[in-house]
Amino acid sequence: MDFTIITALIGVVATLSGIVLGWSAKAKEAKREVRKDAEIDTELRTGMEYLKRGVDDIRIEQRSQGQRMDAMGERLTRVEESSKQAHKRIDTIERKGG
């Protein structure tokens, strides 16, 4: 009878230790998954911040380009007006001289 009790106790201890070891392994794996998810989330956030900064830089450059285009348009208008006046003067000189 002593041998049966010892065998039963060994079986219970083995079962309990298996449960404890399985539980601790599952807890470690859960921690590892949380850490991995946090790393992925951090990488995604970093990438998104990089993209946002890039988009902001593009917007600033686009605004600057628009301002340069406006300035060029104004200059072109002035050059066209000046060219018209010059042609009128040339036409007047040709009529008087010709």
What pLDDT, in 10s, does the model give residues 39-74? 999 999 999 999 999 999 999 999 999 999 999 999
Give the residue extent of every domain in the chain: 1-68
| pLDDT confidence of residue 75 | 96
Q: Specify the pLDDT at position 2.
A: 80
Give the per-residue pLDDT at 96: 87
Q: How many CB atoms lie within 10 A of CB 56?
A: 10
Kind plus residue range of the DSSP H or E element containing 85:
helix 2-97
> Which tokens hold the place of 39?
């790393």
For the record, the structure tokens of 50 come out as: 């990089």
For position 89, what pLDDT does the model report?
92
Q: Write out pLDDT tens, residues 13-46.
A: 999 999 999 999 999 999 999 999 999 999 999 9
